[in-house]
Amino acid sequence: MPEDERLDFQIRNVKIEDVTEVYRLLVANRPYVGLNSRYTYFLLAKDFSDTCVVAQHNGKIIAFSSGYIQPSRPDTFFNWETVVHRDYRGHSLQKRMLLHQIKITNATYFEGTVNPSNKISKRNFCELAELLNTKCEKRTLFNEEDFENDGHEAEVLYRIGPISKKQIVL
């Protein structure tokens, strides 16, 4: 796709029928995004479709973003995994899906974790806080030792908020 072409896409809640395509997208676009069992994604689509989204272009799923509202903290949307198909990167789809998820969940705080080497996501989380005109706090949630030094990087938690609804421009 030419770099300057504006991408026409729709963001919508994930459906069970999407899981095969979503799983293929995750397999093809590692690393960073940790691949879980197919069953995990079926459960996300079955029980958490209110908070998980896909982006579609010409009928094809080009991005996926999962997350949930923590039962004990209903004001916080936690973003679990986000992936954008390699051929469709550079259109701010990560930030656009996250904004969409914040909006549909009515959350006033956003949380997500990033591996220290993931420069693009770190920058996007900071830009998300700027777009929402709010604060961004960072702390290590899990370190390498928590993963028994099996090669899994630390997970650094970004907490963004408070978020005012009027700052969310989709």
Ligand X SMILES: CC(C)(COP(=O)(O)OP(=O)(O)OC[C@H]1O[C@@H](n2cnc3c(N)ncnc32)[C@H](O)[C@@H]1OP(=O)(O)O)[C@@H](O)C(=O)NCCC(=O)NCCS
Write out the residues near ligand X by the rule CB under 6 A. 29, 32-33, 82-84, 86, 89-94, 114, 118, 120-121, 124
Q: Output the smallest distance, CB 128 to ligand X, in A.
A: 10
**What does the alpha-carbon distance between residue 160 and residue 109 come to, in Å, rounded to a whole number?**
6
What is the β-pairing status of strands 155-161 and 76-84?
A: unpaired
Q: Please, which residue, 75 or 153, has the CB nearer to ligand X? A: 153
Q: Please, which residue, 46 or 119, has the CB nearer to ligand X? A: 119
**What does the alpha-carbon distance between residue 160 and residue 138 come to, in Å, rounded to a whole number?**
9
Tell me, what amino acid is at 72?
S
Q: Output the smallest distance, CB 145 to ligand X, in A.
A: 21
Q: Please, which residue, 72 or 152, has the CB nearer to ligand X? A: 152
**What does the alpha-carbon distance between residue 138 and residue 38 come to, in Å, rounded to a whole number?**
31
| Cβ(64)–Cβ(26) below 8 Å | yes
Q: Please, which residue, 72 or 131, has the CB nearer to ligand X? A: 131
Q: Output the smallest distance, CB 47 to ligand X, in A.
A: 22
Q: Output the smallest distance, CB 120 to ligand X, in A.
A: 4
Residue 119 burial (CB count, 10 A) = 10
